[in-house]
Structure 1
Amino acid sequence: MQWILHDIPIGRNIQNIRVRKNMTQLELVTKMQLMGSNMSRSTLANIETGRRNVKASDLKALKIILDVGYEEFFED
């Protein structure tokens, strides 16, 4: 039996939600830093392009700031 793994584009979903909410990367990162995250704009860019994974604590902050449910991050 062969399994084919299909990754969910979490980074692209984060980017789409951010753009839909009319936020720049810098605006989002600034709000995250106010919540205690040490994410930089370049880190966010790398997450959005799939070059870096997002930490669970940062995903929680993104959920709050972007005012979305977790399921929106995991849409395929």
Structure 2
Amino acid sequence: MPKLLGNETFGANLKRIRLTCGLTQEQTVAKLQVLGSPISRSTYSLIEMGRGNLFVSDLVGLQMIFGVKYEEFFKDISTCRSSKKPE
């Protein structure tokens, strides 16, 4: 199963979306588990911190749970891989 590599901006977006929906990490993980994901709260926490990777199937589940467009997860993410900004 393909994974998305962790990113601090992605994690911050994920946290913002979750909080906007009024859910705790525990509630979010419970909803993902009902959808068939074996994700733990500690793994989910690492993803929100930008230090964990996310299965694509879990992103699909999060989109369903939060009811947002996929673009919201990727808001303000640079197209440049390095910390330097393109000129």
What TM-score does the superposition give when structure 2 sets the normalisation length?
0.77
**What stretches of structure 2 of length at least 5 have no aligned partner?**
1-6, 77-87
What is the SS of the residue equivalent to 2:23?
A: coil
What is the SS of the residue equivalent to 2:58?
A: helix
Q: What are the equivalent positions in structure 2 for 1:1-76 lying under 5 Å apart?
A: 9-76=9-76
For residues 22 and 41 of structure 1, what CA distance do their matches in structure 2 show?
Answer: 16
What is the SS of the residue equivalent to 1:13?
A: helix
- Asked if 2 retains the 8 angstrom alpha-carbon contact of 1:63 and 1:69, the reply is yes
For residues 49 and 8 of structure 2, what CA distance do their matches in structure 1 show?
Answer: 12
Shift in Å, 1:26: 0.3
Shift in Å, 1:54: 1.1
The ranges of structure 1 where at least 4 consecutive aligned residues each deviate by more than 4 angstroms after the TM superposition are none
Pair 1:59–1:38, CA change in 2 (3 A) = same
Shift in Å, 1:20: 0.7
Q: How many residues align?
A: 70
